[in-house]
Amino acid sequence: RAAEWQLDQPAWSGRLRITAKGSTAFIKLEDKTSGELFAQAPVEQFPGIAVEGVTDSSRYFVIRIEDGNGRRAFIGVGFVDRGDAFDFNVALQDHFKWVRQQSELARQAQDLEQGPKLDLGFKEGQTIKLNIANVKKKEGATGNTRPRPAGPGGLSLLPPPPGGKSGSGERPASLPTPAQLPGTPITDSLLSWPQPAAAPAADVWGDFAKASG
């Protein structure tokens, strides 16, 4: 019970910090000015014998301090502010919650390593059947289109008109070969067609030439 302590005359006052190394938490009592360590209490389990709350207050606890040489002592500590006592409890709970999670993950990993491994390889003589009869080709696929033969000069050749006779041996009359000017070779297949005569130049002045004066 905290009421049995001399709360108005504490034997020591300072700051309290909680640190952790591995799975062990350490409650450190330090000088609030110099930071010199006054005492520390290693906590390997919470709740446990290393940290116990009193029965008559939520701001006071009994902790077990150790000096590292095997000597231990139980002392009472308390917080002036109730919020600091709450943070003290939460810090210890969060640490050991993390310890339990790490232990559970390690146990699951060990079970996976020791468990039977799945053999997904084919056995000797084993076959597999694939049904691809329902696979449809996409519309507009490039594999279904056939390129049209291109004529000279990059022009596409059109099929004969529907009224023409096929297989009769008749051939269309050949177009007259254009006269080639001296020194001007015909290099474009488009020049093989007869060119239309140039239209006469329009009268630029129009009706203005007939205006009087």
What is residue 208's three-state secondary structure? helix
Helix (H, G, I), strand (E, B) or coil at 205: coil
- Distance between CA atoms of residues 86 and 53, nearest Å: 12
Q: State the Cα–Cα distance between residues 174 and 157, nearest whole angstrom.
A: 16
Q: 8 falls in which pLDDT band (50, 70, 90)?
A: confident
- pTM check: above 0.85: no
Question: Which amino acid makes up residue 138?
Answer: K
Which option is the CATH number for 2-114: 2.30.29.30, 1.10.10.10, 3.40.630.10, 3.20.20.70?
2.30.29.30
Cβ atoms of residues 18 and 94 within 8 Å:
no
Q: What is the pLDDT of residues 87-105, one digit of tens each?
A: 999 999 999 999 999 988 8
> What is the distance of C-alpha 119 from the center of its chain?
31
Place of tokens 């003589």: 125
**For residue range 76-88, what is the model confidence (pLDDT) as tens digits?**
999 989 999 999 9
> How does the average pLDDT of the chain come out, rounded?
76
CA distance 78 to 1: 12
Could you tell me the residue ranges of all domains in the chain?
A: 2-114
